[in-house]
Structure 1
Amino acid sequence: MGCLAGVGWLILLMAVVNIEALKKPSINIDSKCLGNLMRVDVGPLGGNLLEVSVVYNNSAILLTSSLASQCGLSVKIDQLGNAMIFASLQNCFAQNVDDEAFTTTLNLRLHGNQVVEDELYQVAKTCHYNDWASREIVCERNYMEVSVKRSAPGDYNLPKHPFSGAKQLGDPRRAVKQPMDAGFRIKTVVFFTPEEKMMTVTEAQRRGYGIANTPTRLVLRSPITSPETYTQHVAGVPMTVLTTSTIFEKKWLETQIHAGAACPILQGSVSFTPHSLSWFLPRHIDPLIFSGQFKLLEVHMGVDGQRLDLAEVANRRYSLAVNDIYIIIEIPIGAVGGHFKSHVQNGQYLTTYTIEPMLELLWTEDSYEDTRYKVLLPITTPLLYRPPQVIDNTVPEEQIFKMTLGPFCSDVTLMNITFPSEVLSIADCSARGLKVLEHKSAKSCSKMFNLEVPFTYLGVVQMKEMGLTVYSLHLTFGLLVLPEFAPFAHTAHLEAQLVHKVPPSVTGGCDYQNFYVLVKYGTHGFHFRTLVGKQMLTSGLAQKYSFMDNGTHFSFTVPFSAHDAAIEAIEASSIRSRLDVTLRNPDTDKNIQEFSLSCSFLSTLIECFPNGTMTALAIKLESVPSLQLGHLTLRDPSCRPSYSDDRYAHFIFTGNSCGTTRKFLPNMMVYENEISLPDLETKRESKTEPEYDLMVACYFDINTNHAVAFNNRLRRSKPHADDAISALQFEMKLALDSSYSTFHSVDDPITKYLQEPLYFEVELMKSKNPEVSLELVSCWATEGDGKSLPKWDLVINGCANPKDPYQVIFHPVLPDARVHYPANFKRFEIPMFAFAKDKDNSSRQVFVHCDVVVCDARSAVDRACNVQCSNKDDGMKGKTSHAIHFQKRAVSEGHNIKHLSSGPILMS
């Protein structure tokens, strides 16, 4: 490989060992080809140290951190002891066959303790990759790599780089289309910091850069930070930028290939919340794009260098979004693909979450050059405060303290437990009969420690009180975070009360229509059955009476009119009802408690209607259980109930029927009747039928006047709102200068010389709404009114006319004493110009016209308020041109366009 051909001295400095006899691995080793990267998964290491060597020319070269960044390799090990080794397909030690097949061989040595012999394994992986883009950029944790297709120069003048002060002859990548003659050799490498710094290949490699000239490509690799890189903010995201030109020569010919990379910096590109992290990558990475014809073709997301399909992204609850400015990845803290790490700070237990997401982009420029951009960004959250909890699972009747301590991450171990009188190791606890168990689930940071201590243990304090015994236990757990052996402690205080046997009990109350019953279970172990009235409380009856159970007691609700309630008496405007609840021991069939609840419930038994109709309800009382309500009649024995059952009889009659009598009182008239058993039935069944007598009376006011009113008002068939009439007022003025503090009077003639700046301000008058936004739809200039010709466009769809050589300059509007709501204003600047009528004559006056619209600045879908105009620098220094891109919008739908004009402006 080219990166080693010029640095033979490098190999002499390495520890070179012969490859030893290999054996079947006792660890899991798996290798994957991931596009232009290769990954080897090793683990778990089981506490052993991993040493990685690369095999080159039958020798094993120990991989150091500096060699890894120079040659395109990296190693990461998580807290579970699993290792991942990443290697660029074009790493210094790969066997390259025509830039299509790449073979990398690694030796993996596990260093154990002195008892266990070291283990050596070899991994050889061949990856085929022929889907090369014109340019491939990889951002890894310790290096950045750019691979550019080598081609022949279009001309032999050595073009200067955009950072140089010389005139730019063109995009250096556009000068090459045909394969480069193999006779061209690398002469020097020019680094732009942005100042030019020229190095020979040997000097660059001595400084840690990897440079390779493969059959078809130029490969340049740099440590992620080096003196020749610099930081540039792209859309607010800080990025480390490497920009070079590699100069090739062949006899008297000389050309160059531009190679550059830009990688995001963690601080500034990632934000955190307590529950998620968000990574922002610029959609348009300016240092890598040289043309205005940029088109993003593909966006892929992955983890640890491996792409994920959309289903897996959704399954892991990741989020991938692309807008006009950023590509945004959002990952929940603790999601699959990352891992937690424990920390101790000031005696407190904290954690961090680490994950290495990947973004892979593919874009084109000028439709014939493509760039594949891959970045692996290891992200670690700030310290997260995760205090462990003690969960008391003690059941006092078992007379054992049972507790759970946690959760912890898997790198935390329990070393000892401190009791009031002694400190016990975990082994000592087991020897004393104390149970200490560790368990965890597949969920991250789920390790828990269970401890069981009998009430009779020496460290448990007992205190006798009336009716119970209180047991208390004070503990301190000693824990360690591995492999740092960072100690921390957590204290716990447990207390349990062993209550003497308490029987179940029942209480209750009433409201205006229900009995409410509460039954407490009492001491655990009491078994009982519940009777409501004379029925057993079965599951069906419990459902009927809205049964609810919370573990210590249960409750149910019984309507006063239910069959299980007994009617004791009928009063003037209420019914007195009673509910009996009995708790019975099923083993002895004896009652534990008998409870009766008697309440009066408001009830209307008699109703009187203005038309003379009366209704009455007769209810069976508990005192007359044998009464058959169907036998009851009014005074007229032929007037029987319209409905009856074993609890109720309902009568309907009028004031002039069924024996109803009438009498007069002062200002009142009374109708009376009586419900009873007829005399015939009473004589016939005197031995079995009880007496029953219910008086029915209706009182009607007389000589009483009531005022009534009738209001006939027309109603609309549907909801409506009255029409509202309003008018928006606009004004376009010409300011004296860019401060926009003083303006030309509309009555004064305005005279300007050619190219003198004109400062226009458009205002939405009398607006007091900061959420209303005034937007320019279009602006143009004419010699007369807005429809006259010739016409020159200044603003098109809210953006400057890209064909205008002197484009509109938009000025920001800041609040001051005159401007309270900047969104209600628009300011722009144009140079004074004139229309050429013919070859030797120009028009002496200009009118400026604008169409404006008012929209809701809060609406994300209101296109009038969401216009994106891009202003891109072409990368040249000394001469700057701008490519203005505007996005068409349709503002006619849902918006009223207002036309404004200013002028005439005379040319002096």
Structure 2
Amino acid sequence: MACFYRLGWFILLMAAVNIEAQKKPPRNISSKCLGNIMRVDVGPLGGKLLEVAVVINNSSILITPRLASQCGFSMKTDQRGNTVIYVSLHNCFAHNVDDSFTTTLNLRLKGNRMAEDELHQVAETCRYATWSSREIVCERNYMEVSVKRAAPDDYAVPAHPLLGVNPTLDPRRGAEKKPMDAGFRITSIVFFTPEEKVMTVAEAQRSGYGIVSTPSRLVLRGPHTTSETYTHNVAGVPMTVLQTSTIFEKKWLATQINAAVACPTVKGSVHFTPNTITWFLPRHIDPLVSAGQLKLSEVHVGVDGERLDATEMAARRYSLSVNDIYVILEIPVGATGGYFKSHIQDDQYFTSYMIEPMLELLWTEDSTHEDTRYKVLFPIATPLMPRPAQVIDNTVPGERIFKVLIGPFGSDVALVNVSFPSEVLSVTDCSARGFNVLEHTSPNSSLKVFTLDVPFMDPVVQQTTVKGMAVFSLQLTLGLLVLPEFAPFSHTANLEATLVDIVAPSVSGGCDHENFYVLVQYGSEGFNFQTIVGKQTLTPSLAHLYGFKDNDTHFSLVVPFSAADTVFEAVESSSIRSRVDVTLKNPETNGNIQEFSLSCKFPLTLTECFPNGTITVLAVKLESVPNLKPSELTLSDPSCGPSYSDDRHAYFIFTGNSCGTTRRFFSNVMLYENEIALPDDLQTSQDSETEEPEYELKISCYYEIYTTRAVTFNPRPRRSEPYAENAKGELQVAMRIALDDSYSSFHRSEDYPIAKYLQQPLYIEIELMRSPNPQVSLELENCWATLNDDRTSKPRWNLIIDGCANLVDPYQVVFHPVWVDARVPYPSHFKRFEVQMFAFAEDQDNLNRQLFVHCDVAICDDRNGGVCNGQCSNQQNRIKGQRRAVSDAHSYRHVSSGPIKRN
């Protein structure tokens, strides 16, 4: 008789964290027959939804939890997302031909928007040749009993529903051997609760029961918790019991088949110790069998529905024993066949061990040869066990690497990041930093540990000196997640290692108008490192080229700003910014001991305009366009290439009326313009192959027109002493931002844009560069802030007005004195002030905008007074509206710094 069913969903959601994107292998779904059940191994879901449907008569019917317990389906998923489906051979949808049962399932794994759905069909035919008189299955979500469809003659009763059932019948007994005549049909089912309760087949199916009647057997199935079940203690073990009699009618005759099932509950049948799980199953289960009726002839042990032989049980250290009262199964906590599940409570880490053992009993009766096969698939979870992770320090100080092992954790724990006091790094960031983060899983359990290596010289390691010993300290916190719940927790480790005080080698340097000056200090272990200048190892020949000089404590190099081992970062109208990189390496580990970069501006005339109309231009290859070939550059006219070129430079010579040069007239000047770039075909080809920016150099030459010059000739008297002509030069001014109010360390060019929080102080220093005259003074006139690098742009906020702090500013500028030290030979050449980071009122909603600071400064001879009277020396006069007195013996300069980004 077919089951009654409704359409619905049976969905299992599993989530997973993809720490590193990986290509997933093809899914391998398998199925097998395990006695009177079928098992389908789906494998890991990988974060997808699993939808299970059964195929019958070319129709696909989705399975709901209610339909699963009614028709003989169950499912389980472990901590890694591996999913297994169990199906009763007598399920509602099985196609039965001579006790060969075929079940076909459609499995749909539904992905998110980024993943496609997977559709798989599984069909399995199982033949169970050794049917017992009575088959009982206790599954996680249903109970099932199957009995032979046969009845004794004395079971016939009048076919009237009001007459009930013969009260002399023992519901513990199955059907007798005599087959039931054809033509009988089920009219009602009597449930003993233990009182009698009569239902029709339709009423029983609406209550969640599955009823299958084949020519040879009657199958009754239902969930564990219905109003028709009751609890009965058997030898102290609580059992959920369902007792029934099914009434068959044929004309004026009625007969019945008794079917009963009893399944144990975890509470009362399982005992736990920290190391062992002990499961007690009664040897004789009333009301199924009594000690005097049937004897226990077989006991089998299995896991996940599959039997284990004696050898496999011994390898797993399972123990089975049988006494007069119980069948006892002992399983070590952590044994093969189960797994550890992680839990977080109050940020504390716990685990429970989960396993689904199976006991299969066979009772027989010698006189009637009737037998009962009893199978229990019994999911067990231990109570939560606190499992604080251990920190094992495997550091060998001489190797200068912290090596730490942290764990164990369950295999459902994922490492997300590692936090240090100064920064938080993802696992990918750690690997890129050379921290060597690894995960190790035990082959004999589902536990794992994490290992982490951190070099002593990394900035996250703190170093102090105590009594001549170098003490290295590392504090780290693992950021962890329990899957699939995404429950976060952390674990902290504090490590310390001590070495004889070791001073690492270091690099420092400076610039003048032509060269980089590099100084390398050896440290306490002498010259035991490799030096890399740019991308070349410092060989004797390269050292000779760069003026190598050394003694017992250090060596020095002089590297021209245009040397082959430097890089050009940017060009301006009268200067070029060049950088030299110096790296010290450990020759044994090939690890970097220190990386040093020095970037400076060098005066350089790139464009010269001659009175006869000839124009010369030097184009240089910048770091931002590493694949540029200077020889391929041209002027606006592609036929005008460089007169000379090498791998870093291209030199052009042309006139104002050639090579595509254009001319424009203004009120008193004539402007010639041209451009150096790659030809269009090469530019297009280069852009398609790389993402480098275009190379483009604008050229401008101004010639005065309508200008009168007075020329006089004065003979110079002959004299024997040397005579110098008057000349004119430029004094350079630089603005930089210090890391703190000591003004000893400054942000480098690659630090920009600098990130600052609102009201965080900015320490600004302005210096008169390369002036040997102590009587020259640098004075601040006006300083202000804008939102872009155009000093004339709006809005504008004044910081310093006529040398004094802006009185209407709620956070006024603080001026800092300058004293003589190793870096400051002449304090009059420096000005320092502090201003708090702020936001423009009209820009409050956009906190990602940037600020630029601009200043007008005066350079003067402090012997002449005026602006050289000192910072804000005439505050009262400024308040009254009088401008500072300005001497003729000074010049003005403008300087800017930025961008400064608001956090």
TM-score, length-scaled by structure 2: 0.52
Whether the 8 Å CA contact 1:155–1:175 is kept in 2: the answer is no
Give the C-alpha shift of residue 415 in structure 1. 1.3
5 Å matches for 1:539-688?
none
5 Å matches for 1:195-234?
195-234=195-234
Give the C-alpha shift of residue 166 in structure 1. 7.6
Identical positions, percent? 67
Whether the 8 Å CA contact 1:409–1:444 is kept in 2: the answer is no
TM-score, length-scaled by structure 1: 0.52
- Runs (5+) with no aligned partner, structure 2: 12-23, 503-903
User: CA separation of 1:400/1:290 partners in 2, compared to 1, >3 Å: closer, same or farther?
Assistant: closer
Cross-structure match for 1:418:
419
Distance, in Å, in 2 between the alignment partners of 1:64 and 1:146 is 21
SS in 1 for 2:182: coil
Residue 311 of structure 1 aligns with an amino acid whose one-letter code is: T
Cross-structure match for 1:54:
54
Does the alignment pair 1:152 with 2:151?
Answer: yes
Map Cα deviations across residues 714-749 of structure 1 (whole Å, 9 max, x no partner). xxxxxxxxxxxxxxxxxxxxxxxxxxxxxxxxxxxx
Map Cα deviations across residues 131-187 of structure 1 (whole Å, 9 max, x no partner). 1111110000000000010113312554999xx998525678477431111211001
Whether the 8 Å CA contact 1:156–1:253 is kept in 2: the answer is no
Whether the 8 Å CA contact 2:171–2:243 is kept in 1: the answer is no
Cross-structure match for 1:84:
84
Map Cα deviations across residues 465-492 of structure 1 (whole Å, 9 max, x no partner). 2242211122221111111110011111
Residue 45 of structure 1 aligns with an amino acid whose one-letter code is: L
5 Å matches for 1:21-420?
26-98=26-98, 100-158=99-157, 168=168, 173=173, 176-289=176-289, 292-365=292-365, 367-368=367-368, 369-420=370-421
Distance, in Å, in 2 between the alignment partners of 1:12 and 1:318 is 42
Map Cα deviations across residues 10-63 of structure 1 (whole Å, 9 max, x no partner). 3466799xxxxxxx9921111111111111111132232221111111111111
Whether the 8 Å CA contact 1:15–1:61 is kept in 2: the answer is no
Give the C-alpha shift of residue 222 in structure 1. 0.7
Distance, in Å, in 2 between the alignment partners of 1:480 and 1:190 is 52
Whether the 8 Å CA contact 2:354–2:382 is kept in 1: the answer is yes
Residue 92 of structure 1 aligns with an amino acid whose one-letter code is: C
SS in 2 for 1:268: coil
Does the alignment pair 1:470 with 2:442?
Answer: no
SS in 2 for 1:429: helix
Map Cα deviations across residues 627-652 of structure 1 (whole Å, 9 max, x no partner). xxxxxxxxxxxxxxxxxxxxxxxxxx
SS in 1 for 2:312: helix
Does the alignment pair 1:449 with 2:450?
Answer: yes
Give the C-alpha shift of residue 245 in structure 1. 0.6
Whether the 8 Å CA contact 1:154–1:176 is kept in 2: the answer is no
Distance, in Å, in 2 between the alignment partners of 1:444 and 1:230 is 39
Give the C-alpha shift of residue 290 in structure 1. 5.5
Distance, in Å, in 2 between the alignment partners of 1:174 and 1:463 is 83
Distance, in Å, in 1 between the alignment partners of 2:289 and 2:405 is 57
SS in 1 for 2:416: strand
User: CA separation of 1:64/1:175 partners in 2, compared to 1, >3 Å: closer, same or farther?
Assistant: closer
Does the alignment pair 1:460 with 2:457?
Answer: no
User: CA separation of 1:175/1:474 partners in 2, compared to 1, >3 Å: closer, same or farther?
Assistant: closer
Map Cα deviations across residues 388-417 of structure 1 (whole Å, 9 max, x no partner). 111111111122211111111211111122
Distance, in Å, in 1 between the alignment partners of 2:294 and 2:151 is 24
Residue 192 of structure 1 aligns with an amino acid whose one-letter code is: F
Whether the 8 Å CA contact 2:171–2:260 is kept in 1: the answer is no
User: CA separation of 1:477/1:175 partners in 2, compared to 1, >3 Å: closer, same or farther?
Assistant: closer
User: CA separation of 1:343/1:156 partners in 2, compared to 1, >3 Å: closer, same or farther?
Assistant: closer
Question: Would you say how many aligned residue pairs link Structure 1 and Structure 2?
Answer: 486
User: CA separation of 1:166/1:120 partners in 2, compared to 1, >3 Å: closer, same or farther?
Assistant: closer
Residue 238 of structure 2 aligns with an amino acid whose one-letter code is: P
Residue 209 of structure 1 aligns with an amino acid whose one-letter code is: Y
User: CA separation of 1:156/1:372 partners in 2, compared to 1, >3 Å: closer, same or farther?
Assistant: closer
Give the C-alpha shift of residue 292 in structure 1. 2.1
Cross-structure match for 2:534:
none
Whether the 8 Å CA contact 1:77–1:83 is kept in 2: the answer is yes
Distance, in Å, in 1 between the alignment partners of 2:25 and 2:424 is 42
Map Cα deviations across residues 857-882 of structure 1 (whole Å, 9 max, x no partner). xxxxxxxxxxxxxxxxxxxxxxxxxx
SS in 1 for 2:186: strand
Map Cα deviations across residues 90-137 of structure 1 (whole Å, 9 max, x no partner). 000100113x20001011111123222111110110011121111110
SS in 2 for 1:288: coil
Residue 440 of structure 1 aligns with an amino acid whose one-letter code is: T
Distance, in Å, in 2 between the alignment partners of 1:482 and 1:175 is 50
Residue 375 of structure 2 aligns with an amino acid whose one-letter code is: K
Residue 168 of structure 1 aligns with an amino acid whose one-letter code is: T
Whether the 8 Å CA contact 1:321–1:328 is kept in 2: the answer is yes
Whether the 8 Å CA contact 2:147–2:174 is kept in 1: the answer is no
Whether the 8 Å CA contact 2:171–2:259 is kept in 1: the answer is no
Distance, in Å, in 1 between the alignment partners of 2:303 and 2:287 is 25
Whether the 8 Å CA contact 1:293–1:367 is kept in 2: the answer is no
SS in 1 for 2:41: strand
Distance, in Å, in 2 between the alignment partners of 1:150 and 1:166 is 18
Give the C-alpha shift of residue 463 in structure 1. 2.1
- Runs (5+) with no aligned partner, structure 1: 17-23, 502-908
Distance, in Å, in 2 between the alignment partners of 1:15 and 1:433 is 47
Cross-structure match for 1:896:
none
SS in 1 for 2:437: strand
Give the C-alpha shift of residue 291 in structure 1. 7.3
Q: List structure 1 runs of 4+ shifted beyond 6 angstroms.
A: 13-16
Residue 95 of structure 1 aligns with an amino acid whose one-letter code is: H
Give the C-alpha shift of residue 218 in structure 1. 0.6
Residue 37 of structure 1 aligns with an amino acid whose one-letter code is: I
Residue 145 of structure 2 aligns with an amino acid whose one-letter code is: V
Map Cα deviations across residues 684-707 of structure 1 (whole Å, 9 max, x no partner). xxxxxxxxxxxxxxxxxxxxxxxx
Residue 371 of structure 2 aligns with an amino acid whose one-letter code is: D
Distance, in Å, in 2 between the alignment partners of 1:93 and 1:29 is 21
Whether the 8 Å CA contact 2:152–2:175 is kept in 1: the answer is yes
Does the alignment pair 1:480 with 2:503?
Answer: no
